[in-house]
Amino acid sequence: MALPREITENVYWVGAIDWNSRLFDALIPLPNGTSYNSYLIKGSEKVALIDTVDPTMNDVLIKNIGELGIDRIDYVIANHAEQDHSGTLPRVLELFPDAKVLTNPKCKDLLINLLLIPDKKIEVVKDGEEVSLGDKTLRFIYAPWVHWPDTMFTYLIEDKILFTCDFLGSHLATSDLFVEDNDRIYEPAKRYYAEIMMPFRTPHVQKNLEKIRKIDVEMIAASHGPIYNDPSYILDLYEYWASDDVENEVIIPYISMHGSTETMVRYLTDCLINRGISVKVFNLNKTDIGDLAMAVVDAATIVVGAPMTLANPHPNAIGPVILLNALRPKTKFVSLIGSYGWGGRLVETVKGLLSNLNAEFIEPVVAKGYPKEEDFKELDRLADDILKRHKEMIKKH
Ligand code: FEO
């Protein structure tokens, strides 16, 4: 629950804070909850609502609009059709039957199919088109693929506020309307980038950042998390995350059944630390996958640790590997360590599952059973190979 909050004169946050949600899309952990931000703009002639809220919080949005004494909404701007922003749209249209939905053609199609909104309720706006509310003007900016094909920004020209929907957002339930502490927002923002935006890093995130840099923006109001009244903070972070630059760091997500792979992971970790390389190790049976996603945003190398089980890599390694492949981090190098009892296609399978990554596959180390002297030597060799590549990479930049 939350009350409406004034952002600037006649511009209000009317969304909902979701303190309790712990999973999004039945996949993404939300350790800090989230918010569904909806914004209401009272122009001298017309009233617009930008996005709605998750259907589980229908009543909060409707109550907030009521608190402002609003008896008419002329336009509902749909920046994106995913249900956490559009799910309350049918209820809003029921309560305000004269309201028109303004959106782009892709979003219109999705709203009709996902929410059964009648065609006649929706008006399509063009990229760059402006709509006057009297003393306030909205400009629509198509922003496809951050993170769906339908995504769009809305710019409130007079107040220099850019409503970016999911882009630049953060899953953080907070009573702060604005970002008050950059250190507090850093991790939720990075986690959000990793889980939602990273698959679209190039070219879509990069292109949309360029687009925003050309606009005179004083505030960035996304649809999740607090508002940035210092847009450069989040824009600079995104520019780095979306760039090709990586850190001298190795991420090791692993599974071990009887300790062989774990022993190899520990040995390799020590080898890498001794060579001056940062390491983050994730036991996949104990890891929040959001932490893993965040870790791979800017690391140079991923080494997967997995044993064979039932003629395949361990299933608890396969899921996260598929996810890493889908998230498409900018990782430059990938390798594999693990052990097997009697055979199987460990290397080929894991390598195949990481085919989306534009990364060099470094010769893996696979032990038969518990690692022996020659396997430890091979792990030293792998650490040397990684060091060599990281040094070359640093030299190039
Ligand atoms: Fe926050 Fe794509 O929905």
What CATH number should be reported for the domain holding residue 116? 3.60.15.10
Q: Do 276 and 200 fall into the same domain?
A: no
Query: Is the same domain home to 362 and 230?
Result: no
Let me know whether 24 and 164 are in one domain: yes
Last residue of a domain, one of 210, 241, 272: 241
Give the ligand 1 atom nearest the CA of 165.
1
pLDDT, position 311: 87
pLDDT (tens digit, 9 = 90+) per residue, 128-160? 999 999 999 999 999 999 999 999 999 999 999
CA of 27 to the centre of ligand 1 (A): 13
Contacts of 194 (CB under 8 A, 6+ apart): 290, 293, 294, 296, 297, 327, 329
Low-confidence ranges of the chain (pLDDT < 50): none
Residues in contact with ligand 1 (CB, 6 Å cut-off): 80, 82, 84-85, 147, 166, 223-224
Residue 393: closest CA among 272, 277, 237: 277
d(CA 292, CA 358): 19
235 and 288 co-located in one domain: no
Last residue of a domain, one of 208, 241, 274: 241
CA of 127 to the centre of ligand 1 (A): 20
Owning domain of residue 372 = 247-396
- Asked if residue 375 and residue 253 are part of one domain, the reply reads yes
pLDDT at residue 2, as a whole number:
63
| Tally of CB atoms within 10 A around 45 | 11
Question: What distance in angstroms lies between residue 85's CA and the mean position of ligand 1's atoms?
Answer: 7
Which residue lies with its CA nearest to atom 2 of ligand 1?
82
Residues 179, 318, single domain; the answer is no
Query: Same structural domain for residues 214 and 290?
Result: no
Total domains present in the chain: 2
Cα–Cα nearest to 238, from 327, 142, 168: 168
Tens of pLDDT, residues 6-53: 999 999 999 999 999 888 777 788 889 999 999 999 999 999 999 999
Distance from C-alpha of 329 to C-alpha of 354, rounded to nearest angstrom: 11
CATH code of the domain in which 317 resides: 3.40.50.360
- What pLDDT is recorded for position 109? 98
Q: Are 375 and 305 in contact (CB under 8 A)?
A: no
* Domain end call among 241, 271, 303: 241
387 in the same domain as 356: yes
Give the ligand 1 atom nearest the CA of 148.
2
The Cα-based distances of 248 to 24, 62, 237, 271 in angstroms read 31, 49, 18, 14
Give the ligand 1 atom nearest the CA of 147: 2
Mean predicted lDDT score pLDDT of the chain? 96
**Are residues 192 and 279 both part of a single domain?**
no
193 in the same domain as 48 = yes
